[in-house]
Amino acid sequence: MLRYIVRRLLQAIPVFIGVTLITFILFFIAPGDPARLIAGQRADAETIARIRSIWGLDKPLAVQYLLFLGRIIRLDFGRSFKTNIPVIESIGERLQATAVLAFFAFIIAILLGVTAGIISAVKQYSFFDYTAMVIALLGVSAPVYWVGIILLLIFGFKLGWLPLGGYISEYGIKAVILPAITLGTRPAAYFARLARSSMLEVIRQEYITTARAKGLPESKVIFKHALRNALIPVVTYAGMVVGDLLTGAVLTETIFAWPGIGRLVVQAILDRDLPVLQGGVIVIALIYILANLIVDLSYALIDPRIRYE
C-alpha cells in the first residue's frame, strides 16, 4: 500500500508541474505589461522597474518559472492586484465557504441518489423504479442555473421560507439549503442512475444466486453480498464529484451570492487579478489530484479482492 501511495504521488508531480506551467504562461499572455498591472496604470517608470526587479521579471523566463515554482511550494501566491491582500488568505477564506457548500451538496447527492438507485434496482420495473429514473433524467437534464432560479422563485420569493442569498454568518444554516440542493441535484441524479445499473449487474452474478439458494434473507443478500461490490463505480464517481463540487460551483455561488472559490476565480478574471487567478487554478488542481488519490485508496476498503501490488 505504501509503495502504491508513493507511486501515485510521483505520478501526480508531472500533472502539477503542467498546471503550474500553464498558470505561469497565463501571466505573460494576458493583455498588458505584468509589471504595470502590478504597479498600476499611473505608476512611473522607476516604480515599474523596481517591480520588475522584485518579481524577477527582468530575468530569463526559465529563471522566472523556477522562482514562481519556489513561491508556490512555499504557498506564496503574492498579493491581489485589487485588494493587496495575500492571495493565500483570500483563497483560504473562500475555500472554507466552498467546502461548507460542497459538504452539504455531497450529503444530499449521496443520500438521495444512492438510496434511490439501490431501491430502484431491487424493485426493478416497479412504480418507484420508473418514477425515480424519470426524476433522475430530469435532474441530469436540468441546467444548474435553472434549478437555482426555480428554487429561488418558489422558496425565496413566493413562499419566503428561505433567504435569497448570502452566507451562514448572516442567515444561519438556512442559507445553505437552497445552494446545496441546487449544487447536489445533478450529482444525485447521476448517483441514482449509476447505483441502479451497478446493483442490477451485481445481483445477476452467480454468487448472489447462490446466496439466495442457501436461503439467506434478501436483506442480507443485498446489504452484505451485493452492496459493497455495487458501490465500486459509485465511489469512483464520488471522487470526481468531490472535485467538481469544490471547484465547479461557479454558477451556484453566483446565483446565491455565496462567497466561494469559484466566484473568487471568476471575479479575478473580470478584474484581471492574475495572482488570484493563478493561485485559484493551482489550488483547484491540487484538490482534483488529492480527490483522485483518495478514491483509488478507498477501493481496497470497499472490495477486499482489490489489492495494491
pLDDT, tens digit, 9 for 90 and up, residues 156-178: 888 888 887 777 777 778 888 99
pLDDT of amino acid 117: 92
- Residue 102, judged by CB atoms within 10 A of its CB (0-12, 13-18, 19+), counts as buried
- Tell me which range, 27-31, 98-102, 245-249, 295-299, is most confidently predicted by mean pLDDT: 98-102
Chain-wide mean pLDDT for the chain? 82
State the average pLDDT over residues 295-304: 66
C-alpha cell at 270: 473580470
pLDDT of amino acid 44: 75
Which residue would you say has higher pLDDT here, 232 or 142?
142
Q: Is pLDDT above 60 for 295?
A: yes
CATH 1.10.3470.10 fits 93-302, yes or no: no
Band (32; pLDDT cuts 50, 70, 90): low
For the stretch 245-275, pLDDT in tens is: 876 678 888 888 888 888 888 888 887 787 8
Band (308; pLDDT cuts 50, 70, 90): low
Q: Is pLDDT above 70 for 229?
A: yes
Q: Report the predicted TM-score, pTM, of the whole model to 2 decimal places.
A: 0.78
For the stretch 72-108, pLDDT in tens is: 888 888 888 778 788 898 898 888 888 899 999 999 9
pLDDT of amino acid 287: 82
A 10 A CB-CB count for 240 gives 15
Looking at residue 79, the DSSP 8-state letter turns out to be B
pLDDT of amino acid 192: 93
How far is 160 from 182, CA to CA, in rounded Å?
17
How far is 253 from 167, CA to CA, in rounded Å?
10
Q: Is pLDDT above 70 for 154?
A: yes
pLDDT of amino acid 159: 86
Q: Is pLDDT above 70 for 41?
A: no
pLDDT of amino acid 30: 66
State the average pLDDT over residues 274-283: 85
Q: Residue ranges of the domains in the chain?
A: 1-74, 93-302
Angle (CA) 273-274-280 rounded to 5° is 95
Taking only Cα atoms into account, the Rg of the chain, rounded to an integer number of angstroms, comes to: 24
* Least confidently predicted of 101-110, 231-240, 275-284: 231-240
Nearest alpha carbon to residue 247 among 266, 237, 262: 262
Band (180; pLDDT cuts 50, 70, 90): very high
Band (127; pLDDT cuts 50, 70, 90): very high
Which residue would you say has higher pLDDT here, 54 or 63?
63
For the stretch 194-205, pLDDT in tens is: 999 999 988 888
pLDDT of amino acid 305: 60
**What single letter denotes the amino acid at residue 294?**
I
Nearest alpha carbon to residue 233 among 73, 79, 121: 121
Which residue would you say has higher pLDDT here, 303 or 82?
82
The Cα-based distances of 30 to 252, 273, 294, 308 in angstroms read 27, 10, 35, 44
pLDDT of amino acid 61: 78
**Contact at 8 Å (CB) between 223 and 208?**
no
